[in-house]
Amino acid sequence: MEPKKRKVVLTGGGTVGHVMLNKLLIPGFINRGIEPVYLGSKKGIEKEIIGATSIKYYNISSGKLRRYLSSENFKDIFKVVKGIGDARKVLKKENVEFVFSKGGFVSVPVVLAAKSLGIPVYIHESDITPGLANKIAGKFATKIFVTFKRTLDYIPSDKAEYIGPVIRDELKRGYSKIGYELTGFNPDKRVMIVMGGSLGARSINQFIRNNLDELTKEWQIIHLCGRGHYQEGLDTENYKQFEFVKKELPHLITISDIAVGRSGSNAIYEFLLNEKPMILIPLPRSQSRGDQVENAEYFKEKGFAEVIQDEELDIEIFQQTLERIDSNKEAIVDCMCSFEGGFKPQELVDLLIRKEAEE
C-alpha cells in the first residue's frame, strides 16, 4: 500500500499581496512531497492567480468584513457561516496537515473551520498592524509570522514570530541589457520606475502623465500603470508604460535608480532588497485602514524612503523630494545595505514543516 500523500491548505485573497506569497510557496511544498490545496473565493483575484497553477482550487463562500455599520454585515454573517461549512468539507476530504493563511476576507471561514477540526493554522501578516481578517483569524492561529518587528507589539507574544520579508530570488537576478532592450532607454540617463500596484493607482498615474514634460527632462520613466490603465499615444523615448509585468520586473528594477509608488509591504521590501531609494505615496486613510501610511512612515524612519502624502502630491513637492534623495542617496543605500532579515519561499516552507513537526 502506498503511503498517504501529505497535504496542506493555502488560503488568502482579495488582493494580489494576499495571494502572491502563497503562489511562491507552492513549488516548495511540492519539492518536499507535500500537495498544496487552495481555498479561495468564487470570483476573487486569487482564483485568477492560483487557477494558472496546477494545484487544486476549491471555491468557498465568503462575506466582506466591514469596520462600519451596514445592513450588508448581517447578510455576510450567513456567507461566512456557509464558508465555514464549505471549508470543513474540503479540509475533511483532503485530510490536510495544517493551514497557511495570508489574510483577506476569504481566509476567515477557512481558519475557523480548521480550528473546529483541530487542524493547526499558521498566519502571515505583511503589514505593521494586522488587518481585520487577521485580527479575527489570529485568535485561532497556532503561530503568526510577521514581516515588521514592530508588529510584535500588536500580537500576543506566545503566538508571534518575526521572520522579515519573504524574498523573491528572481528579483535580484535582473540584467541591465534586457532592461534597456525592453524599454529602449539610454543607459546614460537616469531611470525612475513608477509602480501603482497590480490594479494601478489613479492619483499617481494621473500625476505622472500630467507632468511628463517636466519629469522627462531629467528622467526616463518606467510606468507600471496597472491593468486597464494603459494610455495610447504617450510612450516616448523617455517614457514607457506597462500594464502589468512578471518575468520582466527584475530587469526593469535593475536599470532603475529610484522607485516611486504606493507602500504595500511586498513592493517596498522588494525595492529595499534591491537597494533602490524610494518615494512612497501611501494610499490615504480615507481610502484604507491606514496600513500603507504606517508602512511608509516606518520606511522613512529607517532611512529607506521619502514620503509624500497622496493629497499633497504636486510637481513642486515631488521635485523637492527627488532632490533630497539625490543629496542623500549614498546614505540611503548604506541603510538599505545594512538591512538584515528575510526568508526565501523555500525557507518559509521548511519553517512551516518544522513548526508543524514540533506541535
DSSP character string of 38-72: EEE-SSSHHHHHHHTSSSEEEE-------SS--HH
Q: Where are the beta strands (DSSP E) in the chain?
A: 6-11, 34-40, 56-59, 99-101, 121-125, 143-146, 160-162, 191-195, 220-224, 239-242, 258-261, 278-280, 305-307
Instruction: Say how far apart CA 80 and CA 142 lie, in whole Å.
Output: 21
Tell whether residue 168 is among the known ligand binding residues: yes
Strands 278-280 and 220-224: unpaired
Cα dihedral 281/284/290/294 (nearest 10): 30
The residues pairing with 6 across neighbouring beta strands, listed in sequence order, are 34
Instruction: Say how far apart CA 133 and CA 103 lie, in whole Å.
Output: 6
Local structure of 74: helix, strand or coil: helix
Which secondary structure element, helix H or strand E, spans residue 135, and what is its range? helix 132-138
The binding site consists of: 168, 198, 292
The binding site for UDP-N-acetyl-alpha-D-glucosamine consists of: 168, 198, 292
